[in-house]
Chain A
Amino acid sequence: MTFNLTLSGSDLLLLLPEMLLTVWLCVVLIVDFAMPRLPKDRLAYLSVGGLAAVLVNLLWFDRAGVTGTLFANMFVVDRLAVFFKLFIVGATILIILVSVDYVRRFRFFKGEYYFLVLMSALGMMFMASANDLLSVFITLEFSTFGFYVLVAYLRDDVASNEAGLKFFILGVFAAGLLAYGISLVYGETGKIVFSDIASASPTPGLVIGYLLIFAALGFKIGAVPFHSWIPDTYHGAPTPVTAYLSIAPKGAAFAILLRMFFVSLATLKPAWVLLLVGASILSMTYGNIVAIAQRNIKRLLAYSGIAQIGNILIGLAAGTKMGGDAILFYLLTYLFANLGAFAIVIAVGNLIHSDEIEDYNGLNRRSPFLAFAMLVFLLSLAGVPPLAGFIGKLYIFLSAINEGLYTLIIVGLINIVISMYYYLVVVKKMYINEPTDPSPLTISTPMKAVVYAGLAGTLILGIYPQPFIDWVVAATLMFSNLAGHTAAAPTILPFGG
């Protein structure tokens, strides 16, 4: 195999967003070192400016339909990759905005924080484009690298150190699994590009190899039984990092999962449906039931995140183009609702220095806006109309019922009710209980901007989802050859218009 490394201008164009971000994160680092007197808030806005440029670039890719592959199919730019890159960049912008107040509390390395966030974003953008097993490994480790540092950022805080250590040890272990799985798959097939291995026959070595890769990615998304790092890491990490960790890597990992299951494993679908059904049922049920017992809002959101991942896995288990659409749409709703909820947690945490649910008592009296926003985000996570989460859940269920996954849907529906309970417990504390300290709470402008963005996203996706549905449907056109095994597919309105 020979690599042809002569890159033309149009090839470089495909890398433009990544190159832009690379340059920008160097700029941020240099500015931080060269101008030590500069208030660190400026760095945040500088980073947001660079990300905004990347965002515009990606939007242009999306509108113009730029596609192509690079480096012998290692790196692919298609609608799916662009969707996930937009998702990641959007999440990163919002995360940097919610970090501003929090970072001010750090004693050291305020500037490096933004650099590390941007670096993780860069790694995840490459993840979205990873098209073979080797690039999966490199990009996944690259993006996780930044997170190892970020999770343990509060170096005086024992919980943060513990979180960082747990995350690191388990993350390295998962990396080992991934490397071993990749080597098995490569040994069996002699190929590493997803589309090339599609035709391989399932030998035991290949099956074990894929199971190991799935375990490593399952660790990344935090699906049961690979979830054990989530609660402690989420709890101990600085809250903006927790928020980041709970959204962006999940999206990037799902980009890889979609490519792996829908492209290279499409022919073996009956074999892996059961695996995903199992993981999904376990994640939803475990996450929701354990969340009931939580006293800390970060842990509650950690477990609810595990349950949400279980919901998304339903779409993966459906294994159709519609399942893919549903996953993408669900991730969008999850982005706004979960990030919004974390923004409130950060805002409240900054003001009252506590993440205990008990301390949310009477939030409605102290800050009606924060309480109302939290109400909307939690209800969206629970899947209550007219909010985004409801459409996301319905989309997922519709894709699953077309494939006849009744057990999964029944479990999913029961879990909606369970999750409603613990979300409503938080609502009860905020609205019904009386505050111990009734002094009003006010939040800063960047924080407000994020909360407004979350509210707008949650409401618009819930009330007028059509443009977004069109978008995700266009993003997964590459999967339209995936056929369901039921007769429900040939309908009046064919998928994809």
Chain B
Amino acid sequence: MGDYTLLTILFAPFLGAVLLIFVPNRQALQVRLVAAASAGISLLAAFYMFFAYDSAKGGFQFVQRHEWSKELGIAFYLGVDGIGTPLVLASAILLFAGIFISWHIKDRTKEFYIFLLILAAATIGVFMSLDLFFLYFFYEMSVIPMYLLLGIWGSHTKGYLDMTDPEGLRKRDSVSFIFNFAANSKEYAAMKLTLFLSVGAVVALMGILLIYKFSGLHTFDILVLREQAKFSGSLATIIWLLIFFGFASIAPLWPLHSWSPVGHAAAPAATSMLHAGVLMKLGHFSIIRVAFEILPETTRELMPIAAVLCIFNILYGGYVAYYARDTKYVIGYSSSSHMGYVFLGMAALDYISLTGAVLYMFAHALATGMLFAMAGWVYDQTHSRDIPSLGGLVNRMPFVAGCFLVACMASVGMPGTVNFIAEIMILVGSWNKYPFQVIVAVLGIVLTLAYLFRMMRGVFYGPMEEQYSHAHDAVAMVDRLPLLLMIACSITFGIFPGHFYNVIRSGVDPLVARITQVVPIAAQSGSDELRVMSDELYEVAGQQASAVGAPGANRSTLITGDPLLQDCNGCPPSPITGREP
């Protein structure tokens, strides 16, 4: 496969979508098989890419570069580093699982799979773009299929306006309530999502255009811009803020999140999976790829913004999730809450925390994918997402209930799942800079436990309503396969995170070194020696980390090897430490 790996991953779903146009709509099975085959090819290639990625070498691998437009300075430039690799893999897994989750869609099957494949392929395209133009190209391309998927195959949130908490108060997620004058229909959710994301996208596009102009390099090539573009002063701040808030709207960062639970709730199961699983990570990924790579100094100065906002993400999301009655709202808000962890890991700008953040994106993709898949299954069987009216479904669907338990465990971050490792790394890595946020995050874990098990109890245990006695379990292989796949990945990578860790580290190390090495002029006097010393330590640590190969040894680096890093993190008088909240 060699150099064609990325092209295969990216274009298999696209070609599948094109092929589907020629398959008649009545041949539902054929449609599904074509979709599954293209997603399967993409998944196999993604696994190949993941295991063939040489973490000792690091950097961008499987690079493809084709001149696209000389006049505009655009090249079709693909490549993955340690940060892109896990996310491409997660997208491929979720796409493959999503195809099977939607196996029973009857209405306009063909169109559904076309849009789903385009959505996933566009997402994958963002994760492997090394050209700002194509990053934006794929980013914007992923928004429109969402509109149709939500609008056509979504479901209205019944009783949304009557949603009350136990005291009988009006529902708590008032941010979306302000803009929602009528019933909370799927059309409303779809339009809101599309417009929110489009606004975010054009804000980011403004930042990209400014980068293009003021770099003076006449190119969109991220690697060239990274090496040669220099931005300073208020210009750098403006660009950074545009890029950050533009992309953070899809992440979704706290005040910009209101589209996300509404959208999740309205979307069909497979779309929610892809959406919460990977689409939201486009935000974090694009911030890392654009803001972190091209504007490292500004990132160091301004990233505390994210550290402050992520507190609200974690607490507010968790709080609303606890009181929500709709299963998909619970999961949607829990996603929005968990994205706060990723922002925390990114804000700390530490080797461990950023590695944890990237790993968490992967882990969360699997965990939330499973949760949405199962909520979708329950909805299909009972036509209800109202937690109090459900109950006792464990009798009818033991397999789904079991999977749900595993997904909850993963979501909480139980040892043995990949979420645990990621969470711990974020918490440990951020402790030096943001102890308060870490405490909040730990509280968030407790909250997660509370609302997920409250939902678990409400849906699967307790007395069962008579009307749900016809509900049945996921018995067929096509129904079980996606759940088992996601569980297997979550647990396997949780027990053997060695390669995973190395891959991510190989991408994170040079990035964090670049960002934290540069000492601003104000703090430079007198700290030169320390800085040189810390540089050497960074290098030693980096080599150590990448030299570790065996999984077992790796777990120990995680704990024993890291104090070294944390110590040297404390060495340079970092401007962030001085200013931390």
In this assembly, does B579 line the interface, its C-beta being within 8 Å of a C-beta of chain A?
Answer: no
In this assembly, does A413 line the interface, its C-beta being within 8 Å of a C-beta of chain B?
Answer: yes
Partner of A421, one of B108, B151, B195: B195
Contact B73 A390 (CB under 8 A): no
- Proximity bits, B344-368, A CB within 8 Å = 1, else 0: 0000000000000000000000000
Contact A431 B152 (CB under 8 A): yes
9-residue interface stretch from B77-85, B137-145, B174-182: B137-145
Nearest Cβ on chain B to A362's Cβ, whole angstroms: 11
B residues near A491, Cβ cutoff 8 Å: 73, 216-218
In this assembly, does B381 line the interface, its C-beta being within 8 Å of a C-beta of chain A?
Answer: no
Contact B217 A398 (CB under 8 A): no
Partner of A417, one of B137, B199, B209: B199
9-residue interface stretch from B64-72, B160-168, B431-439, B473-481: B64-72
Partner of B68, one of A325, A397, A466: A466
Contact A409 B195 (CB under 8 A): no
Q: Which A residues from 336 to 362 make CB contacts under 8 A with B?
A: none
In this assembly, does A427 line the interface, its C-beta being within 8 Å of a C-beta of chain B?
Answer: yes
- Specify the chain A residue showing the minimal Cβ separation from B216: A488
In this assembly, does A495 line the interface, its C-beta being within 8 Å of a C-beta of chain B?
Answer: yes
In this assembly, does B454 line the interface, its C-beta being within 8 Å of a C-beta of chain A?
Answer: no
In this assembly, does A386 line the interface, its C-beta being within 8 Å of a C-beta of chain B?
Answer: yes
Contact A420 to B187, CB < 8 A, known contacts A401-B213, A414-B202, A491-B218: no
- Specify the chain B residue showing the minimal Cβ separation from A375: B148
Instruction: State which size class the interface on A falls in.
Output: 35 or more
Contact A428 B69 (CB under 8 A): no
A residues near B25, Cβ cutoff 8 Å: 368
Contact A469 B72 (CB under 8 A): yes
Contact A364 to B69, CB < 8 A, known contacts A424-B194, A432-B152, A492-B218: no
In this assembly, does B54 line the interface, its C-beta being within 8 Å of a C-beta of chain A?
Answer: no
Contact B144 A409 (CB under 8 A): no
In this assembly, does A465 line the interface, its C-beta being within 8 Å of a C-beta of chain B?
Answer: yes
Compute how far the CA of A409 lies from the CA of B203 in the bound complex, rounded to whole angstroms. Answer: 11
Q: Which A residues from 368 to 393 make CB contacts under 8 A with B?
A: 368, 379, 384-386, 390
Dominant secondary structure of chain B at its interface with chain A: helix
Partner of A493, one of B71, B151, B152: B71
Compute how far the CA of A386 lies from the CA of B195 in the bound complex, rounded to whole angstroms. Answer: 18
Contact B217 A492 (CB under 8 A): yes
Nearest Cβ on chain B to A351's Cβ, whole angstroms: 21
Partner of B191, one of A394, A421, A488, A493: A421
Contact A390 B147 (CB under 8 A): no
B residues near A398, Cβ cutoff 8 Å: 72, 209, 212
In this assembly, does A215 line the interface, its C-beta being within 8 Å of a C-beta of chain B?
Answer: no
Contact A385 B141 (CB under 8 A): yes
In this assembly, does A395 line the interface, its C-beta being within 8 Å of a C-beta of chain B?
Answer: yes
In this assembly, does A410 line the interface, its C-beta being within 8 Å of a C-beta of chain B?
Answer: yes
In this assembly, does B562 line the interface, its C-beta being within 8 Å of a C-beta of chain A?
Answer: no
A residues near B71, Cβ cutoff 8 Å: 325, 469-470, 473, 493, 495, 497
Compute how far the CA of A488 lies from the CA of B217 in the bound complex, rounded to whole angstroms. Answer: 8
In this assembly, does A57 line the interface, its C-beta being within 8 Å of a C-beta of chain B?
Answer: no
In this assembly, does A402 line the interface, its C-beta being within 8 Å of a C-beta of chain B?
Answer: yes
In this assembly, does B305 line the interface, its C-beta being within 8 Å of a C-beta of chain A?
Answer: no
Contact B137 A420 (CB under 8 A): no
B residues near A410, Cβ cutoff 8 Å: 206
A residues near B73, Cβ cutoff 8 Å: 491, 493
In this assembly, does A426 line the interface, its C-beta being within 8 Å of a C-beta of chain B?
Answer: no
Partner of B137, one of A390, A416, A432, A487: A390
A residues near B198, Cβ cutoff 8 Å: 416-417, 420
B residues near A417, Cβ cutoff 8 Å: 195, 198-199, 202
In this assembly, does B269 line the interface, its C-beta being within 8 Å of a C-beta of chain A?
Answer: no
A residues near B217, Cβ cutoff 8 Å: 491-492
Contact A386 B141 (CB under 8 A): yes
Compute how far the CA of A491 lies from the CA of B219 in the bound complex, rounded to whole angstroms. Answer: 10
Partner of B140, one of A384, A421, A431: A384
Partner of B209, one of A368, A385, A401, A492: A401
- Proximity bits, A411-437, B CB within 8 Å = 1, else 0: 001101100110010011001100000
Partner of A428, one of B111, B151, B202, B212: B151
- Proximity bits, B187-230, A CB within 8 Å = 1, else 0: 10011001100110011011001101100111100000000000
- Specify the chain A residue showing the minimal Cβ separation from B70: A493
- Specify the chain A residue showing the minimal Cβ separation from B205: A413
The 8 closest A-B CB pairs, nearest first, are: A491-B218, A413-B202, A432-B151, A385-B137, A401-B213, A385-B141, A401-B209, A417-B198
Apart from A385-B141, A394-B72, A409-B209, what 11 extra A-B contacts exist at CB < 8 Å?
A: A368-B111, A394-B133, A398-B212, A410-B206, A413-B203, A432-B151, A432-B186, A465-B69, A491-B218, A492-B219, A493-B73
| 19 A-B pairs (CB sep. < 8 Å) | A325-B71, A368-B25, A384-B144, A385-B136, A385-B140, A390-B140, A402-B213, A410-B206, A413-B203, A413-B205, A414-B202, A417-B195, A420-B198, A432-B152, A432-B187, A466-B69, A469-B69, A473-B71, A497-B70
